[in-house]
Amino acid sequence: MIDYRSDNTGRAAPEILEALVRANHDTALGYGADEWTAALQRRFSELFETAVRVFPVATGTAANALSLAALGPSWGIVYCSEAAHINTAEANAAGFFGGGIKLAPVGGEDGRISADRLAEALAGIAPGQLHRGQPSAVSVTQASDLGTVYSLAEVHAIAEVAKARGLRVHMDGARFANALARLGCTPAEASWRAGIDIMSFGATKNGGALCDAIVVFAPELADGLAVQLRRAGQVWSKMRFASAQLIAYVENGLWLEMARASNSVATRIAVGLTALPSARLLAPVEANEIFLELPSAVMDGLEADGFQFYRRSATLARFVCRFDATETEADALLTSLRQHLPPAAAARAAE
Amino acid sequence: MIDYRSDNTGRAAPEILEALVRANHDTALGYGADEWTAALQRRFSELFETAVRVFPVATGTAANALSLAALGPSWGIVYCSEAAHINTAEANAAGFFGGGIKLAPVGGEDGRISADRLAEALAGIAPGQLHRGQPSAVSVTQASDLGTVYSLAEVHAIAEVAKARGLRVHMDGARFANALARLGCTPAEASWRAGIDIMSFGATKNGGALCDAIVVFAPELADGLAVQLRRAGQVWSKMRFASAQLIAYVENGLWLEMARASNSVATRIAVGLTALPSARLLAPVEANEIFLELPSAVMDGLEADGFQFYRRSATLARFVCRFDATETEADALLTSLRQHLPPAAAARAAE
Amino acid sequence: MIDYRSDNTGRAAPEILEALVRANHDTALGYGADEWTAALQRRFSELFETAVRVFPVATGTAANALSLAALGPSWGIVYCSEAAHINTAEANAAGFFGGGIKLAPVGGEDGRISADRLAEALAGIAPGQLHRGQPSAVSVTQASDLGTVYSLAEVHAIAEVAKARGLRVHMDGARFANALARLGCTPAEASWRAGIDIMSFGATKNGGALCDAIVVFAPELADGLAVQLRRAGQVWSKMRFASAQLIAYVENGLWLEMARASNSVATRIAVGLTALPSARLLAPVEANEIFLELPSAVMDGLEADGFQFYRRSATLARFVCRFDATETEADALLTSLRQHLPPAAAARAAE
Amino acid sequence: MIDYRSDNTGRAAPEILEALVRANHDTALGYGADEWTAALQRRFSELFETAVRVFPVATGTAANALSLAALGPSWGIVYCSEAAHINTAEANAAGFFGGGIKLAPVGGEDGRISADRLAEALAGIAPGQLHRGQPSAVSVTQASDLGTVYSLAEVHAIAEVAKARGLRVHMDGARFANALARLGCTPAEASWRAGIDIMSFGATKNGGALCDAIVVFAPELADGLAVQLRRAGQVWSKMRFASAQLIAYVENGLWLEMARASNSVATRIAVGLTALPSARLLAPVEANEIFLELPSAVMDGLEADGFQFYRRSATLARFVCRFDATETEADALLTSLRQHLPPAAAARAAE
């Protein structure tokens, strides 16, 4: 079996678990008042070239929902892509933690929202009108939920529209490392320098084990968030075991190395697909996910050949490359696709 | 330094971290659809001698608040001890996750609530009256927040009063292992057979690392709770790493062995204190916590001697024994206390 | 000025205010334990031909949001029309009172949802899956938010689909009287006999003053809702003044008489529009609202002629007929439209 | 029957209902965009000698809970008297609307909290500690829930302690008129000049009918509150009928006249009680409520004589004087008490 189901079906990087085990000595104050968590603050502040506050949390859902809850009042409207994980896959955690905030989908291409469409949406709600709530924040998913990556200019443009209206900007960085690996820029450029106020910093999908983090760039948000996290049951009493994982995750560029590895395999598959004219990508492959329109019979064939992946619909398959995916596996997938896909001429004729 | 600050300042049992590391192979479906989590269900069902649903969660606060939220409507009143962790130390997580449920303190001795006082409190609110909300649940902390342990008869009596009014019963078992070690009964006897519907099953304070669990005895509560946990950001996508810890925690009686060890050191200190007539315990030492009334100057002396502990007030110190606390450390504490405590005669005179 | 802006810009029926004033004698127990509120229960139970519980509330938003909160868990998904008032105009009150419930738009024609589209939406969420929450209720707006009216068969069909999946059914009856007047059936047929569990019973838009009501058909919902309403600040201590209004509203068929009057004027306008080939209705006129596609210049002309209405967009105008709207006003509007609308030929050419 | 049960069992002042009826002409924009609501803003700004924002709401519970929710984050602690209505009689509406805020009782005399006890409570929670939440607001009930009235100096002192810690101050003015009548000061002196940021402005208990109000002194709170109120179902679409009531309530000093009347009858009873040595008041009678410790048999006797009142416990009776209570009724109560109360000597002997 070759598993392309998700990047969260995979193992953790051994370096991360080793760091967790290494932290198991002596006693340390609970709830983050330990030396590992202090080191985490320093390490991420260096990484992001500014003083940040880092809060380890158990899951990306917690990171997203608690970040959004921190960005505005409970009657706020948070704009995001229709395809955003916060909108489709987190059981309305944002609405819950935010005390009733409402997610409002904004259009755009390939899983991204566009600054223009955001501006239109905001123009539709006059300041002071009461009936629909008031805009409070924007959330961008980087890399996006369709496997594309916002350019820095796109993030800048969205943030500019948002801030002109007094809105805060959140980045769902569940696959931030994959985006960074694609963009080739610094973490600072991809986040606060582009206008991000708070980020869900993913690790789990990219070789992590049991924690992600919230990284706060707007310092006035941090103290309140700290209490909110405590109340949300997201502050481990033995926090050192989480902080140690996150330090190991970024140490010596491990995170980017893993992201480059998974991106690279995804790209190899995408390049291979160009030789298969009947294969249609839903969106460009810019990170580690591939959304491929496939006849149902082709999906059956792939499964019969031992490939695991998600059927997003009767004609849409998602393949995700993990940090430990291999080129051999990629080539095997392409071979199988080649066998099952109809020739291009037949595909055209079928339309 | 000898650390008596808390049982969450300590290390994790190596067996637990080893199990976590051992789970790091192959791929596995996310969000609990993996073989470790399936094994956890079986293992705990054996342990509790009934079919239970077990949900690993990041923290005891999450376990408590989400359990209580599952037990009744958002306008419910949840009865608990004034000293209960849910009432004093979880930033009103129960009120938050429960959508506004209110905690109502009930009296009793030594950190426990009493069935009679509960009955009185319930009698004070007529069914159908609207102004104060309606009773929905009771929470007992076992071992209690003052280091005492409810007898099985006491738990039975509380559950009986509760159920006569249609209330559900929650057990905050952050130190359930310590209570079991004291009671010498089975997990089943101490929980569902005594009337418990849902339990916060603690591991962190007793040698765990990054997870506790909710154990559901009333099956009709489980499906809804599963969605609620997903929404609460408490369902790890790589759940295997949590489930593996919890399996290791109870494997071969590790949990009870650790609890007996910490209880035993606490008892050794308590016994030693009987020879110090001026030492006053706030409550009997029945688990791994010692609440000792001490003059402030004595606390200063202990700290100067290298002991760490919490000052609960100017005259109350708390000492907690971890699973890896030693008899040597206990004897050192007694020696230091002996030096700093005034002779009994002087203590009496000072009153 | 002739006001077509909304049915809530209008006066109240004098009979309703007179009843309120008549209730101002003697003392009466507070919070609904008075004789007027008891009479209200009896009167509505007769009206609906079954024992109902009636709770007066201040606004339709309160009626809707608290009804929906009563129908399912806080992680529930509530299906409704994209155009539903609960989705577009109540500042996400349902999400707030429901503790994070999510509204999911369902397609259909002319502001109604269709049973088939509902069935498709439900089929997209497997029982037990966690990531999107779980379906809990359906809300139908009767008359709909585009001025159309569900047939009894349509409501039946929706309720059948809902109940096959265990979902409850809510009716937003802000304009229930207008729908009844159109359908010519009994209140029972249009509500619980068609599968409705709970209804927001509107009065304000149809000649009421300061209260609407929740009518509960599923008796097991009522006791909890009563506490929830108290907590929501929706239980007047001098409830008699609200109950007296609601009794007067239905006494001697006043409510239906008013609804027939406003429907009739709207129909007169709609009929008149058929003689204006360039006038396009967004949806059939079946109650008291008219959604008319108009060039912006025509809207300017109408305003210059003294007509007030809402511009829903640059090319969509809404006209609402109040219970005291007159035929003369209707004819005046038609005359003005006739003057400003381009001839049909010109309209066709402009396409 | 002579009714001393509550000030909400009574009639409304005819002037208020007449104003409501007078507002029933012409059309007016909904949701507060009408001329009556505009006049209300002006009228109350004159009354309070500063620019205030006034929001009519259906009930005092809504006024209190939504005010408190506006004063701080959802993890905030709100300090109030143990006896406060928000703590004992509103079904935890504050916890609900506040998203989980916790009420923390503060001690003091006769239903009031004291500045010193508040300072002690605040000193017990260090800024930045997470486990208990963080202080966010103080609520004082004026007149208090035991029928006493804070002096201006007392309110000032509490506000000073609060503001030194960054806390906001709310006044539950359900009986504000009664307090003002007692204090003989201006509304401004009793509110914002004494440090109040937001007030629940009661009318219902003092001759009102269907609305109270929130008066906002801290202007930065108003815009958000407006949206929150809309979402809370507390913004009537035909707001004019509420605003007209509130204008009439204060017009020509009606509110103070009614409060003086009810206070005066209560005082008459209290003075009469001084001649009955065995009658014990729970607290001084400073407004319109009398809390009287009475043997159960005496309460039986009063009821047999036709008096209605609430039994707060087996030995505590509450008598409330409405604005239309009469001296004759007061004298009748004293006569009945005189008959049923044991002579002073017997009372002393019984102790």
Residue C147, pLDDT above cutoff 90 = yes
Tell me the DSSP string of C53-96: EEEEES-HHHHHHHHHHHTS-TTEEEEEETT-HHHHTSTTHHHH
pLDDT digits (tens, 9 = 90+) for A49-76: 999 999 999 999 999 999 999 999 999 9
User: Are C311 and C244 spatial neighbours (Cβ–Cβ below 8 Å)?
Assistant: no
Is residue A330 pLDDT above 80, yes or no? yes
* CB interface of C with D, residues 214-233, below 8 Å: 227, 230-233
Chain C contacts of D26, Cβ < 8 Å?
Answer: 11
> How far C323 CA sits from the closest chain D CA (Å)?
12
User: What percent of chain A shows pLDDT beyond 70?
Assistant: 98
Ranking A302-311, B122-131, B301-310, D20-29 by mean pLDDT, the lowest is B122-131
Q: What is the nearest CA distance from B205 to chain D, expressed in angstroms?
A: 16
State chain D's mean pLDDT as an integer: 96
Residues of B in contact with A237 (CB under 8 A): 6, 8, 59-60, 204-205
Confidence at B346, pLDDT banded by 50, 70, 90: low
**Neighboring chain A residues of C97 at a CB cutoff of 8 Å:** 100
Q: Which of B31, B73, B100 faces C130 most closely, judged by CB atoms?
A: B31
Q: pLDDT for A118-135, tens place per residue?
A: 999 999 999 988 998 999
Per-residue pLDDT tens over the stretch C82-139 = 999 999 999 999 999 999 999 999 999 999 999 999 999 999 999 988 898 999 999 9
Rounded CA-CA distance C153/A246 in Å is 58
Please report residues of A whose CB lies closer than 8 A to that of D229.
130
Q: Which of A5, A93, A210 sits opposite B236 (nearest CB)?
A: A210
pLDDT of residue D342: 81
Within 8 A of D237 by CB-CB distance, chain C residues are 6, 8, 59-60, 204-205
Q: How many CB atoms lie within 10 A of CB C296?
A: 12
Nearest CA in chain A to D229: A130
The whole-number pLDDT of residue C110 equals 97
Long-range pairs for B37-41 at CB < 8 Å and ≥24 separation?
A: B37/B239, B37/B240, B37/B243, B39/B243, B39/B247, B40/B243, B40/B246, B40/B247
Distance from CA of A262 to the nearest CA of B (A): 15
Give ∠ CA B290-B295-B300 in degrees, rounded to 5: 90
pLDDT of B342 reads: 81
User: From C132, which residue of chain A is nearest by alpha-carbon distance?
Assistant: A91
Opening angle at CA C209, ends C205 and C214, nearest 5: 70
Give how far D210 is from chain A: nearest CA, Å: 23
Query: What pLDDT was estimated at residue B345?
Result: 57
Q: Cβ–Cβ of D75/A131 closer than 8 Å? A: no
Reported as a pLDDT band with limits 50, 70 and 90, residue D333 is very high
Q: Which of residues 42-101 of A touch D (CB under 8 A)?
A: 73-75, 99-100
CA distance C129 to chain B (A): 8
H or E stretch at B200? strand B198-201
For the segment B145-163, what is each residue's pLDDT rounded down to a tens digit?
Answer: 999 999 999 999 999 999 9
Distance from CA of C344 to the nearest CA of D (A): 34
Say if the Cβ atoms of C204 and D237 lie within 8 Å. Answer: yes
From the number of C-beta atoms within 10 Å of its C-beta (0-12, 13-18, 19+), residue B220 rates as exposed
Mean pLDDT of all residues in C231-248: 98
Size of interface A-C (CB pairs under 8 A): 53
Q: What is the ipTM of this complex?
A: 0.96
Interface of B with C in 126-155 (CB under 8 A): 128, 130-131, 133-134
Which residues of chain A have a CB within 8 Å of the CB of B231? 61, 90-93, 96
CA distances from A44 to A41, A174, A249, A250, C38 (A): 5, 16, 11, 9, 65
Q: pLDDT at position D278, please?
A: 86
Q: Please answer yes or no on whether B62 and A234 come within 8 Å at the CB atom.
A: yes
Mean pLDDT value of segment A146-158: 98
Whole-angstrom Cα distance, residue B168 to residue D134?
Answer: 30
CA–CA min distance B69, chain D (Å): 12
- The predicted pLDDT at position C342 comes to 81
- Distance, C-alpha B255 to centroid of its chain: 14
Please give the mean pLDDT across all residues of chain A: 96
CB neighbours of residue B124 within 10 Å: 12
Residue spans of alpha helices (H) in B146-221: 152-164, 176-183, 187-190
Q: Write the burial class of residue D123 (CB in 10 Å: 0-12 exposed, 13-18 middle, 19+ buried).
A: exposed
For residue A345, pLDDT beyond 90: no
Q: Please check whether residue B34 is in contact with residue B239, taking contact to mean a CB–CB distance below 8 angstroms.
A: yes
Locate all alpha helices (DSSP H) within B274-326, ordered by sequence.
296-304
Burial class for C346, CB neighbours closer than 10 Å (0-12, 13-18, 19+): exposed
Measured between CB atoms, does A234 come within 8 Å of chain B? Answer: yes
Average confidence score pLDDT of chain C: 96
Is the CB of residue B319 less than 8 Å from the CB of residue B292? yes
B31 interface with D at CB cutoff 8 Å: no
Residue B275 has pLDDT above 70, yes or no: yes
Among residues A170, A196, A137, A180, the alpha carbon closest in space to that of A67 is found at A170
C309 CB within 8 Å of a chain D CB: no
